[in-house]
Amino acid sequence: MSIDLTFIAQIIVFILMVVVLWKLLYAPLNEAMEARTKKIESGLAAAEAGVAAQANAEALITAQLNEAKSKAHEIIAAAEKRAVEVNEEALNKSRREAEQILDNAREEVGAELERARQSLRQEIAGIAMQAAEKVVEAELDAKRHAKMIEAIIEEGLGAA
């Protein structure tokens, strides 16, 4: 048990081993471990970001769905309102057309009635002339007595 030159030689061996093992064993293993740790950390961060993105996307989807439902309700309400308006418009139009048809029919009936009156008046005038000729047996001038005859007819019709 003595200290001798082995001591000096062992210091050299030890220092050399520290340097060589640092470069050849510790550094490569440590780098591999650090690279793996970073990879795992980035993977975890990416997974967390993915989860956050999924939550955001789900929130966005929910908001968009709610918005779409709201819009759909608005569209349905507007469509229903429009349908009611169209229905009312059609009804009003039909009503107006019906009234128009009725007015036209009334006008036609009035005209027909007028025409029938005129025809009847002429026929009655003719018959009256023939009757007067027969009654008075006298020749009457149609042009000279036309006004008188018409007055008689009007009175007759008015009485009728």
Partner 1 sequence: MAGQEHSGGIAEHLQYWSYSFDDSNPFMQIHLDTMLLTTLIAVGLISFSLWLRGKLVEGAPTGIQNFMESVIEFINQTVKDNFSVNNPLIAPLAMTIFVFILLCNSLDILPAYLMHHVAGLFGLHTFRQVPTNDLNLPAAMAVSVFLLVLYYEFKLKPGHFLKELLLQPFAALLLDSKNPIVKLLGVILIPLNLTLKLIEEFAKPLSLSFRLFGNMFAGEVIFLLIASLLLVGSVDDLSSVGGVVSGAMGLLVGLGWSLFHMFIGLLQAFIFMILSVVYLSIAHQPVEH
Q: Which amino acid is at 74?
A: E
* 69 near partner 1 (CB under 8 A): no
**Which C-beta is closer to partner 1: that of 17 or that of 76?**
17
Determine the Cα–Cα distance for residues 32 and 34; give it in Å rounded to an integer: 6
| Binding map of partner 1 across residues 18-47, x = CB under 8 A, - = no contact | x-xxx-xxxxxxx-xx-xx--x--------
**Which C-beta is closer to partner 1: that of 42 or that of 104?**
42
* 138 near partner 1 (CB under 8 A): no
Q: Which two tokens stand for residue 32?
A: 């591999």
Indicate the Cα dihedral angle 97, 103, 109, 115, nearest 10°. -120
Q: How far is CA 44 from CA 37, 38, 51, 58, 149, in A?
A: 10, 10, 10, 21, 121
**Which C-beta is closer to partner 1: that of 22 or that of 80?**
22
* 81 near partner 1 (CB under 8 A): no
Residues found near partner 1 in the complex (CB under 8 A) = 1-11, 13-18, 20-22, 24-30, 32-33, 35-36, 39
